[in-house]
Amino acid sequence: MGTIFQKMSEKENGGEAIDHKAPKKELEAYFSEILPDYDVDRVYQSDIKKIIQWYNLLVKNEFTDFSIAKEKEATSGEEE
């Protein structure tokens, strides 16, 4: 999930994404820009709406650090 949020943040320069209530075609087009090779048959419109809504909530609450490097550091620290 962090990878998707990171890509959304890069696309939006840290700002909010499109509205999660946008029409289906707009949501799918937006998600295709973020993840061009996502499985259209397995990712439903409701999934895309939730991801966009969660991302926007995090940005509104000033949680904008979606860097993957911090995830890897946390994971490697647990292994030791």
Q: Is the pLDDT of residue 3 over 70?
A: yes
Q: Is the pLDDT of residue 63 over 90?
A: no
Q: Which residues contact 16 (CB under 8 A, 6 or more apart)?
A: 55, 56, 59, 60
Q: What CATH number was assigned to the domain covering residues 2-73? A: 1.10.10.1650
Q: pLDDT tens digits, residue range 21-36?
A: 999 999 999 999 999 9
Q: How far apart are CA 9 and CA 12, in angstroms?
A: 5
Among residues 43, 51, 2, 42, the alpha carbon closest in space to that of 22 is found at 51
Mean pLDDT of 4-27: 94
Question: What's the token pair of residue 21?
Answer: 């209530």
Q: Is the pLDDT of residue 75 over 80?
A: no
Domain residue ranges in the chain: 2-73
